[in-house]
Amino acid sequence: MHKWWARRLGSIFRTILLYSLAETESIQDLWKRYPKGIDLSDKIVLDPMMGGGTTVVEALKLGCTVVAGDLNPVSWFITKKQIEDIDPDLLRDALVQIDNELGLELRKYYRTKCPECGDFADGIYYFYCKELSCPDCAKEIPLMRNFFLAKSLVNDSDIVVCQHCWNIFEAVSRRNETKCPKCNHVFIPAETSYTSGRDYYCHTRECKSKKIVDWIRQNGIPREKMYAIEFHCKKCEKKKNPNLKNGRGYKAPDKRDLKLLELAKKEFREIDVKLPIPDTSIPNGVETKRALNHGYTKFREMFNERQLLNLGKIYRWILTLKDWHVKEFLILAFSNSLKYNNKFAKYNATRGFITDIFRTHSYSPSMSPVEANCYDTPRGRGAFTAFVNLVIEGKEYCRSPFERIFQNESMVKMPSGRRLVASMAGRYAELDSKRKVLLLCGSSEQMKVPDKTADAVVTDPPYYGNVMYSELSNFFYVWLRLALKDRYAWFKGKLVPWEEEVIENRSQKKGKEDFLAGLTRVFSESNRILKDDGVFVFTFHHKKKEAWSAVLQAILDSGLFVTTIYPVRSEMRASTHLHDLKNIAYDMVIVCKKRRKRRSAMNWSVVKGNIKDATQDLVRHLQENGATLSDLDRYVIALGKCFELYSQYYPKVIENGEYIGVEEALESIDLLVKQDR
């Protein structure tokens, strides 16, 4: 129902909870009972770093009482709305109401003429390119990586843009030389480029290539030129026009389209101050630095004027509603729609859809931004109404949840029985059979929860410096704050609080020691709340040895030890983040318990040999079950096994009469893995 970064798979955390809490004679018995429902209503689960709320949702599925917290107000709000109940018909009624009161006013800016039949059509996506003037020859340079627009929707050809006259036409292939039917210009669309993304080139004279950010520092954000529109024509769809697929096609903007854009800009300038639009400055950060380098100084500058006009009108209408419960769910949907309705969105030309600002865990300025129809369209992504319908779908699932069971290579839906709705307690003492959830917003280094109350701690802590949660979530926070600051104290600050964020972040001047100290404090507090016989489980992955070193040290310093580890895929296989960054495919599920007594000393060479054997056995098991493991995955598995075997004897792991510390142990495992390659 809302974007959260590196959200883990629910099935993984559901299994973690089952294995940690269900009383059963065997694993086979557990899974035989599972489809019929397993009641864990007598169990209490703690998640001190709830993020997107996966643990909370999955624990509720099993009937558990849940205490969860997060420093980030966006995380708190998302999780709150995921588990709160609402009659979906109330949201449907709100869609009817906004359409009656605002529909025509919003739709008028997304109407275009169909080039096939001449009737009015809906604009789905509007394509822009940034332009700058060459400082050597003053020629206008469109910052286009290529002139391939999209794959044809009706055949195997490509839709391309003429480099010379900006005509939109079909070519046999974007990789072949082609001639524009309008101006006869000959070019190769896929190879014609004016930018690499960092540098820009001038093709008219012997001008040197230069860095885009240098031009921006001197001149500001480049202007944008609309050069194409993807549209949907209902009339052509009904008549099954063979030149369009389901009424969808591409066109160059005509005079009316350009005039409509100017009218939207004019209206926005007239009513800007009357619209609920954040004016918050973008803070310096690891990820925000890219936006700042490209001239964006405020979050509102990430949106064009037509986007701000229509988003502002939608938000203003939402904020006039008197029913706070309905209002908050619409705020959630509105916030989620922002990820597609901004100037950082791009177009996937080969697959024909827009990609959101957070297609990777970063702010990546687009030289060719794509504007979506932000209100309502039957095709494409990004419309506010579509995100309300996603919330409706989510709430219907919560009221009648089901499981996907694969049988005979087909998927069947099976009811899971328990409604995924919960009333929330204001404090721990208010938890009872009706109020099953306590959500805390603030640092989890100190939680107002009694000692030894949780049967299990299940969490997904920050992965060192992989994801800059506060920097990224500020994109949503500055909008949410406008509606929520007078209702919830944690939305009063101008930005997401970051001082106590457990992370490695050079912009915050936080390194390994800061990450270790923060994680240790949270783990220690969770250990205090955990029952003596409880289990502490979390997932982790990272490329850097120092990240693993900090995590293991935090486990040991907080009074825990590792009992076992399991490598699992916790993100979707299709994760853009994993694919683009060639990241680690497997998370390590790390299972810990309280350290009660220390074992006798153990020789490091014996422990290291056991780690090597255990790693080889686990790698062999995974490969026999179809897993494809990279060298990085093998390395992470070896580190996990080091966690498991080293921590059981810590601190009395000795070699040549001296204690082996955490960093030294992991360094030794690093060498061991390299020798085995």
Q: What are the pLDDT digits (tens) for 336-348? A: 999 999 999 999 9
pLDDT > 80? residue 319 = yes
Report the C-alpha gap between 562 and 548 in whole angstroms.
13
SS3 49: coil
Residue 241 CA to residue 118 CA, distance in Å, equals 13
Q: What is the pLDDT of residue 579?
A: 36
pLDDT band at 34 (very low <50, low <70, confident <90, very high): confident
pLDDT of residue 552: 92
Please spell the DSSP secondary structure of 294-327, one letter per residue: TT--BGGGGS-HHHHHHHHHHHHHHHT-S-HHHH
Residue type, 274: K
Work out the pLDDT band at 205, boundaries 50, 70, 90.
Answer: low
User: 206: pLDDT confidence band, cut at 50, 70 and 90?
Assistant: confident
How many other β-carbons are positioned within 10 Å of the β-carbon of residue 32?
11
Q: CA 128 to CA 142: how far, in whole Å?
A: 10
Can you name the residues that pair with 654 across neighbouring β-strands?
Answer: 603, 659
pLDDT score of 109: 95
Distance separating alpha carbons of residues 489 and 563, to the nearest angstrom: 40
Domain extent listing, the chain = 1-84+422-472+487-594, 91-145+193-391, 597-677
Contacts of 516 (CB under 8 A, 6+ apart): 550, 553, 554
Q: Do the Cβ atoms of 453 and 529 come closer than 8 Å?
A: yes
Residues 492-503: tens digit of each pLDDT: 999 999 989 999
pLDDT band at residue 6, thresholds of 50, 70 and 90?
Answer: confident
What tokens were used for 35? 């489809």
Reading the block at residue 249, the tokens are 């096609």
User: CA 338, CA 235: separation in Å to the nearest integer?
Assistant: 30
Q: How far is CA 607 from CA 233, 443, 655, 660, in A?
A: 69, 37, 10, 11
Average pLDDT of the residues in 88-94: 98
How high is the pLDDT of residue 235? 96
| Structure tokens, 592 | 């810990």
Q: How far, in Å, CA of 55 to CA of 46, rounded?
A: 9
Confidence of residue 578 (pLDDT cuts 50, 70, 90): very low
Helix then strand then coil, % of the chain, to nearest 5: 40, 20, 40
DSSP H stretches of helix in 530-563: 545-557
Question: How do residues 589-642 score in pLDDT, each as one tens digit?
Answer: 999 999 887 778 899 999 889 989 988 898 899 889 888 888 877 888 888 888
- Residue 191: pLDDT band (50, 70, 90) is very high
Mean pLDDT of the residues in the chain: 91
Give the total residue count for the chain.
Answer: 677
Residue 2 per-residue DSSP state: -
Q: Cα dihedral sign for 519, 522, 527, 528?
A: positive
Pick the more confident residue, 645 or 455.
Answer: 455
> What is d(CA 20, CA 563) in angstroms, rounded to the nearest whole number?
12
Other CB atoms within a 10 A radius of the CB of residue 55 amount to 32
> Using 50, 70 and 90 to split pLDDT, how confident is the model at 330?
very high
Question: Which of 515, 539, 645 has the alpha carbon at shortest distance from 588?
Answer: 539
State pLDDT tens for residues 268-278: 999 999 999 99
**Would you say 498 and 508 are in contact if contact means Cβ atoms under 8 Å apart?**
yes
Residue 580 pLDDT: 38
What is the model's pLDDT at position 575?
A: 44
What is the enclosing helix (H) or strand (E) of 257? helix 255-271
Q: Give 31's pLDDT tier (boundaries 50, 70, 90).
A: confident
33 vs 172 pLDDT, higher one: 172
Residues 230-259 have pLDDT tens digits of 999 999 999 999 999 999 999 999 999 999
Q: Does residue 436 contact residue 423 with C-beta atoms inside 8 Å? A: yes
Tell me the mean pLDDT in the region 520-540.
96
Please report, rounded to a whole number, the percentage of residues in the chain having pLDDT higher than 70: 95
From the list 67, 209, 246, the residue with the least C-alpha distance to 134 is 209
Amino acid at 448: K
CATH number of the 1-84+422-472+487-594 domain: 3.40.50.150
Tokens coding 34: 């599972």
Tens digits of per-residue pLDDT, 538-568? 998 887 888 889 999 999 999 999 998 888 8
Cα angle 375, 377, 381 (rounded to 5 degrees) comes to 85
The per-residue DSSP string of 385-398 comes to HHHHHHHHHHHHHH
Give 531's pLDDT tier (boundaries 50, 70, 90). Answer: very high
What are the distances in angstroms from CA 544 to CA 9, 571, 584, 632?
23, 19, 11, 10
Reduce the DSSP state of residue 631 to 3 states and report it.
Answer: helix
* N- to C-terminal Cα separation, the chain: 43
Give the integer Cα–Cα distance in Å for 284 and 522: 26
Distance CA 563, CA 536 (A): 10
Residue appearing with tokens 């998927």: 411
Identify which of 590, 464, 453, 438 has the alpha carbon closest to the alpha carbon of residue 519.
464
Token look-up 């500020």 returns 474
Tokens 């966690």 -> residue: 643
**How large a percentage of the chain has pLDDT more than 90?**
70
Please give the C-alpha separations between residue 471 and each of 176, 365, 489, 498, 594, in angstroms, as whole numbers: 43, 15, 20, 9, 34
In angstroms, the CA 309 to CA 229 distance is 19
| Whether residue 278 has a cis bond before it, omega within 30° of 0 | no
pLDDT exceeds cutoff 60 at 399: yes
